[in-house]
Copies of this chain bind each other. A is one copy, B any other.
Amino acid sequence: MSRREEVARLAGVSPRTVSNVVSGAVTVAPATRQRVLDAIERLDYRPSEIGRMLRKGRTGMIALVIPDIESPYFSELGSALTDAARRRGYTLVIEQTDGVRDRELELLARADTKAVFDGLIVNPLALTDEDLNRPTPRGRPIVLLGEETHPGFDHVHIDNFAAAQDAVRHLLGLGRTRILALGAQRKGHSSSSLRLAGFEAVIAESDATGSVEYVDSFSRASGAAAVERVLERGPAPDAIFCFSDVLALGALAALADAGVAVPDEVAVAGFDDVEDGRYVRPSLTTVSPAKDVIAEAAIDALHRRIEGDDSEPAHVLAPYRLVTRASTISGDRVGAPLRRTDR
């Protein structure tokens, strides 16, 4: 019944010889090889990947643990990671946590329990060091994305502090004086913290006044709601630095609804450089992290760990750049923003 046996019978050899032909590791007489290949062709035999997995103790699968694949930043990153993984011969499985700590924990435990993954790439939102250490005594390697610098793990990130500074300096350079930071979070989430720190550092050494608006999550709805609160409270800022593009997209919607002109009355900058931001009007000034570099570096680091590298944890700093578009730069150039800002 077993397919390999059938091939062997048809070719008049032992099952073992079929394996030898398939793997190519051992020398097989050309005549025999040909007979086996013909039989394989005739019977359409394919070696079972599961059998190989069992033998090798490897599955070739990597889990990507992120809050939410619907969010454009993560879907773009997920896409880049999927491609990078495939290039290295891995299959990427996307697991969504919705940013809930219990769910992040459950997934880590499950990933470890089922032992189906050769390694994990995790973008934690709410995990503590102990959380991360607990579920992998077995030693599935983990690479972290984002700013959670848990000790002992490889880590790929951009300089959120510097990037935030660049964005805020850009706003100051436009002559804005009342800057709102939108997207601080009450708990956890060090990306937010670092962006906030960058914001505050620049504000502190400037003449401008800064204010901070908190959100529960990075979403368009949160961004819009936050701006509504801010406008109601008054006086309105003349620039908003949003900690993510989806927040900024929500903010733009709320500003438009309130009849506030962007960028003339309020300049808006985001963070992530998602596709939507290029096509919203006014198009969105934003910090653009090199997502493909991040993806490549993460897969690369994980691959090395899977291959047994046990050197010190690596911390890869990926580049970013500030992309200025119409949401902060007004006027004459708005006619052809697509050409100017598209990559």
User: What residues of chain A have their CB less than 8 Å away from a CB belonging to chain B?
Assistant: 44, 46, 48-51, 53-54, 59, 68-70, 72, 75-76, 78-79, 82-83, 91-96, 112-116, 137-138, 220-221, 224, 249-250, 252-253, 256-257, 275-276, 278-281, 283, 334-338, 342
Are B280's CB and A336's CB within 8 A?
A: no
Are A70's CB and B75's CB within 8 A?
A: yes
Q: A94-B94, A249-B279 are in contact. Are A50 and B54 (CB under 8 A)?
A: yes
Are B70's CB and A79's CB within 8 A?
A: yes
> Taking CB as reference atom, which chain B residue is nearest A78?
B69
Q: Which residues of the other chain, B, contact A249 by a CB distance below 8 angstroms? A: 276, 279
Q: A49-B116, A115-B50 are in contact. Are A257 and B338 (CB under 8 A)?
A: yes
Q: Which residues of the other chain, B, contact A112 by a CB distance below 8 angstroms? A: 46
Are A49's CB and B279's CB within 8 A?
A: no
Q: Which residues of the other chain, B, contact A95 by a CB distance below 8 angstroms? A: 82
Q: How far is the CB of A213 from chain B (nearest CB, A)?
A: 18
Are A137's CB and B44's CB within 8 A?
A: yes
Are B49's CB and A51's CB within 8 A?
A: no
Are A94's CB and B82's CB within 8 A?
A: yes
A-B CB proximity, top 3 nearest: A75-B75, A256-B281, A49-B114
Bound: A271/B104 CA distance, A: 34
Q: A69-B75, A72-B72, A96-B82 are in contact. Are A115 and B53 (CB under 8 A)?
A: no
Q: How far is the CB of A275 from chain B (nearest CB, A)?
A: 7
Are A338's CB and B253's CB within 8 A?
A: yes
Q: Which residues of the other chain, B, contact A116 by a CB distance below 8 angstroms? A: 49-50, 91
Bound: A53/B116 CA distance, A: 10
